[in-house]
Amino acid sequence: MKKVVIGMSGGVDSSVAAILLKKQGYEVIGLFMRNWDSTINNDILGNPTIDNDICPQENDYNDALEVCQKLDIPLHRVDFVKEYWDYVFTYFLDELKKGRTPNPDIMCNKYIKFDMFVKEAKKFGADYIATGHYARIRDNKLLRGIDDNKDQTYFLSQLSKKQLENVLFPIGDLEKSEVRKIALEYDLITAKKKDSTGICFIGERNFKDFLKNYLPSKEGNIINIETNEVIGKHIGLMYYTIGQRRGLNLGGNKDRSFVVGKNLKENILYVAFSDENNYLISDQAVVDNINWISDNKPTKCTAKFRYRQKDNEVYIEYKDNEIIVKYPEGVKSVTPGQACVFYLNEECLGGGIIKEVYKNNKKIEYL
């Protein structure tokens, strides 16, 4: 009997993935990853601060334990707090300091879930590892999950082909509604549990309050890019992303405003009130940190510049360690720091990190 070690998150997806693996005849072992110490944070000077508004990590573990007991699966815990800090959280903070918009979940998959986790799974003699991701693997290719609305290949785009060897995605062929139905049939505690959203280590906490523990925020001017007048104050450039409309607190009819740029050197946040000048539209991006999962490196394919975005037709030019991605039809809110992920029909080819954005061959000075 082949042995599978599955990452049990305490959510419905990994719960049902475990059910399916058991039904397929595998010996299944659950492994719960503790990636964040939710009881203690450090302030900006490195001093410990007790965080009373903790993320529900222990609740997740208890839910995972109850599911595994019900399915007669052993569950083990592993602590990756230090590794998560070194490889994911430090990256997250460094990107924010640069005024960029990072995606820590992609790095968590690359360095924790499909690296540290795999090494731990091998200690149990695993033939395979499994997760509750909505994705598929066929003929050594990473394919989108069947459920378009839940497909998670975007977050797997920095994995190597080797990291995807002996990996199983049991729910990749299911719609989310089917996953919920199976969990209800087994009367699992996770059957109706709300999907986790946002950044895992922040949990239900206020993003701004959380970040104050780690990065000093610096107030600065908000400037109307159309008139060049100062119309308010921002609370720190790290808290804003391109295209953002909520939380600008400009009052009155200024609620129509949206972020179009940041000047890190001058600590200025630029906003606009109409998109007649297409401030958010770009037609070209420089992408670095390129990772190809597929052997196929195309000059024409489709790409997503953020999760759940529709596919955009792109043309690729290869240049040293970077690539130039052109999308003549124009795409809104392509943002430095976010992932650009490439597809050829159902196959996820790989991806990279957006470095610079251009319109009409002119660099858009987001930063």
Active site members: 108, 200
3-state SS, residue 10: coil
Terminal-residue alpha carbon distance, the chain: 55
Helical (H) or strand (E) element with 254: none
Which DSSP state fits 96? H
Question: Do 112 and 85 meet the contact criterion of CB atoms below 8 Å apart?
Answer: no
Question: Do 285 and 356 meet the contact criterion of CB atoms below 8 Å apart?
Answer: yes
CA distance 274 to 251: 16
What tokens does 109 get?
A: 């998959």
CA distance readout (Å), 272 to 223, 243, 278 = 9, 10, 10
Helical (H) or strand (E) element with 245: none
